[in-house]
A = this chain, B = another copy of it.
Amino acid sequence: MTTAADRLGAWLQGFGAALERGRASEAAACFEEDGHWRDLVSFTWNIATMAGREAITSMLEACLGDTVPSNWQLDGEPTEVDGLVEGWLTFETALGRGRGYVRLRDGRCWTLLTTLQELKGFEEQQGFTRPLGVELGAIKGRVTWQERRRREAAALGFERQPYVVIVGGGQGGIGLGARLKRLGVPAIIVERNARPGDSWRNRYESLTLHDTVWFDHMPYIPFPPHWPVYTPKDQMGDWLEAYTKLMELDYWGGTECRIARYDEDAGEWEVTVERDGSTVVLRPKQLVLATGMSGLPQIPDIPGVEGFEGDLYHSSRYRSGEAYGGKHCIVLGSNNSAHDVCQDLWEHDADVTMIQRSSTTVVRGGRGGVGNYSEAAVARGIDTDTADLLAASMPFALAPAGAIEATKRLRAADADFYARLEASGFLLDFGEDETGIGMKYQRRGSGYYIDVGASELIISGEIKLHTRVSIERIQPRSVVLTDGTELPADLIVFATGFGSMNGWAAQLISQEVADRVGKVWGLGSGTAYDPGPWKGELRNMWKPTRQPGLWFHGGNLAQSRHYSRYVALQLKARLEGLPTTVYGLSEVHHLR
């Protein structure tokens, strides 16, 4: 009787041998006819999913010559459940070492993930190879750690140009900055706010992270075991500030990025920033926009805004309901921010009305932590890297099936809650194809609420609700809805979301460059706000774009953590002049 290890081993031997002999179609034949191969930078120098033998063959024909994959090995013990054999593997390429995950059915590959983990000769110093920290022996003119660090920080951007400038110093920019620091890639993080963590501190008072601690670790320094499940925003601010210091990042706080221009001839950027009241021009080869997964705040164009006598602003500027006790507050929108703002206003005794224009996916927050991001997973020995790779191992095209099942279970478990919420008049959906919150996040990054209290307020009528309407016009002390209803208003909050991230490129670089790279985020699922054609990967995220030297980094904390590894390796390879021929650079079908 053969074991799962026997079968996976046999498959891997055949697959590895085909690759080593350069036989693209032979290797592709190791897959099911419509099998999937997802590659993170190891073969394609891109983030790409090849679906079907034909796509796999094409990729291999293009990439095998440079990649020279070898030394395929099983890693750990494969498992078999209901005929599905799955397990970890390791491999090498000409330039690096990789880790992968494979799923077999009937001896053929259903899904394969391959990832680049490190570049040969440029491994991070850690564990056995960590730095000594002291130069032993007597050395005239010894330079201390502090002095070396001080000089390095003072020179970077002036005597010495950074290879990378990261615009945006939230958790995305900070995590990527940490990876680059460990890889020895000179980088400056430019952030408008004064201190690391301010992007959290400056948000509304009651905010906590919406994802759980197991999902939200930064690279290198995980949260300790007593850290709360949902980190309060100011505590997150403190963590990021400490992290930035301890990772020795070159973080330019209080610095505004004015404009970035790409010099085609020099192959470098000219990035003009205002720092401490003076203008500094940085000349990096690579520019990373890490300005938030959300783009610029979107405010609908509603007549009467200029004449409004109360307070009016986008939800990103909302801080606290403290000033609004007893006041009439109108919140336009029905996603996370809208709910959180409504709840915070209610908690401060405001009179709150939510204007819900279209339906929303709601899931109940709770103790959280299920699956591979949970305390139970920690107890099973599933570390964060492993959880990240397992998450990455399922191609986006295959995600809906599982998401539909999960949504069904959720609807059944919380049937009473959903019934009560719908009875209140709230417009509820579970995604166009019933795939729920996770797919909405990947497709459009919006359209959902993780309930931490506002839904019961809507159910009980404590938060008033108007649905299937918007604000038609604004009067000095009221709003008029599209159904003619007039509501008194002392405060109007536009919880109306954000544009595509390439809005930042338009603002910082040019509309031309923004249009060249096109829409950022979304899979091309053909659902609302995510028009097709199908891409198979998130548009423009963490991978080369059609603008040389321009990268987008971000996502939630888990994505930022995981994909920062691949952004950093791509940048490091370019710094070192390694060949990085990109396979399958995505076409642009949508501009925003």
Binary CB contact string for chain A from 123 to 145 against chain B (1 if under 8 A, 0 otherwise): 01111101111101111111011
| A246 cross-chain contacts in B, Cβ below 8 A | 238-239, 242
Binary CB contact string for chain A from 346 to 390 against chain B (1 if under 8 A, 0 otherwise): 110100000000000000011100000001001100000000000
Interface segment, one of A3-11, A73-81, A217-225, A268-276: A217-225
Q: A213-B130, A225-B126, A231-B133 are in contact. Are A205 and B347 (CB under 8 A)?
A: no
B234 pairs with A146, CB closer than 8 A: yes
User: Which residues of A, 238-259, contact B by the 8 Å Cβ criterion?
Assistant: 238-239, 242, 245-246
Q: How distant is the Cα of A127 from the Cα of B367 in the complex, in angstroms?
A: 12
Q: A130-B228, A224-B221, A229-B132 are in contact. Are A245 and B234 (CB under 8 A)?
A: no
Does A230 reach chain B (CB closer than 8 Å)?
yes
| A407 cross-chain contacts in B, Cβ below 8 A | none
The one of B229, B239, B378, B462 that contacts A133, using a Cβ cutoff of 8 Å: B229
| A125 cross-chain contacts in B, Cβ below 8 A | 226
Scoring A130, A138, A225, A230 by chain B CB atoms within 10 A of each residue's CB, the highest score goes to A138
Q: How distant is the Cα of A454 from the Cα of B134 in the complex, in angstroms?
A: 14
| Distance to closest chain B CB from A286 (angstroms) | 23
Q: How many copies does the complex hold?
A: 2
Q: How distant is the Cα of A291 from the Cα of B137 in the complex, in angstroms?
A: 31
User: Which residues of A, 173-209, contact B by the 8 Å Cβ criterion?
Assistant: 182, 205-206, 208
Q: How distant is the Cα of A456 from the Cα of B140 in the complex, in angstroms?
A: 14
| A132 cross-chain contacts in B, Cβ below 8 A | 228-230, 367
B232 pairs with A138, CB closer than 8 A: no
B138 pairs with A378, CB closer than 8 A: no
The one of B126, B133, B221, B230 that contacts A208, using a Cβ cutoff of 8 Å: B133
| Distance to closest chain B CB from A465 (angstroms) | 15
Does A227 reach chain B (CB closer than 8 Å)?
yes
| A462 cross-chain contacts in B, Cβ below 8 A | 138
| A365 cross-chain contacts in B, Cβ below 8 A | 134, 136
A144 pairs with B221, CB closer than 8 A: no
The one of B144, B213, B225, B454 that contacts A205, using a Cβ cutoff of 8 Å: B144
Does A453 reach chain B (CB closer than 8 Å)?
yes
A128 pairs with B375, CB closer than 8 A: yes
Does A538 reach chain B (CB closer than 8 Å)?
no
Does A457 reach chain B (CB closer than 8 Å)?
yes
Q: How distant is the Cα of A452 from the Cα of B126 in the complex, in angstroms?
A: 22
B239 pairs with A138, CB closer than 8 A: no
| A366 cross-chain contacts in B, Cβ below 8 A | 136
Q: How distant is the Cα of A141 from the Cα of B142 in the complex, in angstroms?
A: 57
> Which residue of B is nearest A228, CB measured?
B133
Does A316 reach chain B (CB closer than 8 Å)?
no
Q: How distant is the Cα of A133 from the Cα of B213 in the complex, in angstroms?
A: 10
B456 pairs with A138, CB closer than 8 A: yes
| Distance to closest chain B CB from A335 (angstroms) | 18
Does A467 reach chain B (CB closer than 8 Å)?
no
| A346 cross-chain contacts in B, Cβ below 8 A | 138, 140
| Distance to closest chain B CB from A367 (angstroms) | 7
| A133 cross-chain contacts in B, Cβ below 8 A | 208, 213, 228-232, 235
| A454 cross-chain contacts in B, Cβ below 8 A | 138
Does A502 reach chain B (CB closer than 8 Å)?
no
Binding site for B on A (CB under 8 A): 124-128, 130-134, 136-142, 144-147, 182, 205-206, 208, 213, 220-221, 224-232, 234-235, 238-239, 242, 245-246, 343, 346-347, 349, 365-367, 375, 378-379, 452-454, 456-457, 462
Q: List 23 A-B contacts (CB under 8 A).
A: A130-B225, A130-B375, A132-B367, A133-B208, A133-B229, A133-B230, A133-B235, A134-B208, A136-B365, A136-B366, A136-B452, A137-B456, A142-B206, A144-B205, A144-B234, A145-B208, A145-B232, A146-B232, A182-B226, A221-B221, A238-B246, A239-B246, A242-B246
Closest 9 CB pairs of A and B: A133-B228, A145-B232, A242-B242, A146-B234, A133-B230, A126-B225, A138-B453, A126-B226, A134-B208
Beyond known contacts A134-B230, A136-B453, A138-B343: 13 more, CB 8 A cutoff: A126-B225, A126-B226, A130-B213, A134-B229, A136-B452, A137-B452, A138-B347, A142-B206, A144-B206, A145-B208, A146-B232, A147-B205, A239-B246
